[in-house]
Amino acid sequence: MSNIQIPEMKGKVVACIDDSIYAEAVCDYAAWTASRMNTQLSLLHVLDKTESTTASNLSGSLGLGAQENLMQELAELDQQRAKLEMEKGKLMLQAAMQRAEAKGIIDAESRQRHGELVDTLIELEPETRILVVGKRGADTESAHGHIGSHLESIIRAMHKPILIAQQSFAPPKQIMVAYDGSATMRKGIQIVAASPLGRGIPHHVVMVGADTDVAREQLREATDALSAAGFEVTGTIIAGDADTALAEYQERENIDLLVMGAYGHSRIRHLILGSTTTAMIKRTRVSLLVLR
């Protein structure tokens, strides 16, 4: 793995804060991540642009004077609604700042932006070291068995690690890396080895597929890289379908955090941005770290 070039990781831990039931866990995971990585925490709330179609729907059946009055009243209501949403966001950020401070984070910043969430995250990507988001947002928080409406778009658009938080947080005690020997995950192993995020936490490197000489050699290279970096590591090859086998291993070994690559070259390549990934994110009850 010595020929894999790993870029120097700089920037902030950016946490997306909203009014969903995932917000507290996002804040806690982001605070833990910023502390472990000794980097600044940036709490972000994005006010998505929305367009009201009420006026155009109603004005066609009204006289000119009524149209003008209605349009003016609707515009005033939109302004009031936007102002309330902005104030609500500021209160959420204030609460998140207080929660982060209670976790020992003293240099956090809070930012409120207007625009589309994905576009905003792309804009902030150069200063982002790792992004923390909830599994679902406020609009889909009760849609159990599904992922958030923005999540797949975020994973497709971003080129930085993304930590997908579940509803509750506890510091991970066991971390599992889904490994397939691809260039993406060879690089991923080096990123894990170089990062302080998981240092001191036992790691499980798990491959799904046939127990062949090639697979054993790939697994050995990965575990040796982590061992050389001072990690306590266990390597395992398991049979079965990737989503089912990995989920069962996670449950059996009490894994707290899953690490996956965004792309690969085997059956695991669908773990992210494919049917297996969707199934894995839906099924697992622990948080996931997606590497690019």
Q: Which residue in this structure is represented by tokens 């003008």?
A: 68
Tell me what pLDDT residue 261 has.
79
pLDDT higher than 80, residue 278: no
pLDDT at 280 over 90: no
Highest mean pLDDT among 46-50, 70-74, 231-235, 285-289: 231-235
Strands 109-114 and 128-134: unpaired
| 2 vs 188, higher pLDDT | 188
Statement: residue 115 has pLDDT above 60: yes
- Residue at token pair 């790792």: 130
Chain mean pLDDT for the chain: 83
Three-state DSSP state, 13: strand
| Structure tokens belonging to residue 288 | 């996931």
Task: Give the three-class secondary structure for 207.
Answer: strand
Residues 6+ away with beta carbon under 8 Å from 238: 206, 207, 208, 245, 246, 249
- Residue 275: exposure state from Cβ atoms within 10 A (0-12, 13-18, ≥19): exposed
Q: Is the pLDDT of residue 48 over 90?
A: no
At 252 the pLDDT is: 94
Kindly state the tokens that stand for 247.
Answer: 């989920």
Question: What domains lie within the chain, and their CATH numbers?
Answer: 12-50+84-165 (3.40.50.620), 175-290 (3.40.50.620)
Nearest to 290, CA basis, from 183, 198, 163: 163
Residue 120: pLDDT over 60: yes
Tokens linked to 286: 């622990």
DSSP state of 92: H
The closest of 268, 185, 269 to 221, measured between CA atoms, is 185
Q: What is the pLDDT of residues 203-251, one digit of tens each?
A: 999 999 999 999 999 999 999 999 999 999 999 999 988 878 888 999 9
Contact between 185 and 290 (Cβ < 8 Å): no
pLDDT of the residue at 201: 97
pLDDT single digits (tens) 136-195: 655 544 444 445 567 888 888 889 999 999 989 999 999 999 998 888 889 999 999 999
End-to-end, the C-alpha distance of the chain in Å comes to: 17
Q: From CA 151, how far away is CA 273, in angstroms rounded?
A: 10
DSSP 144-198: TTS--TTHHHHHHH--S-EEEE-SS----S-EEEE--S-HHHHHHHHHHHH-STT
Nearest of 291, 18, 11 to residue 135 by alpha carbon: 18
pLDDT of residue 64: 56
The mean pLDDT value for 244-270 works out to 76
In the prediction, which pLDDT does 104 show?
Answer: 94
pLDDT of residue 241: 84
Instruction: Find the mean pLDDT for residues 56-84.
Output: 69
Task: Kindly list the distances between the CA atom of residue 163 and the CA atoms of 21, 30, 260, in Å, as whole numbers in the listed order.
Answer: 16, 9, 10
Is residue 8 over pLDDT 90?
Answer: no
Average pLDDT of span 266-276: 46
Model confidence band, residue 53 (pLDDT cutoffs 50, 70, 90): very low
Phi, psi of 11 (to 5 degrees): 115, -170
CA distance 125 to 138: 23
% pLDDT > 90, the chain: 56
Judge whether residue 61 has pLDDT over 80.
no
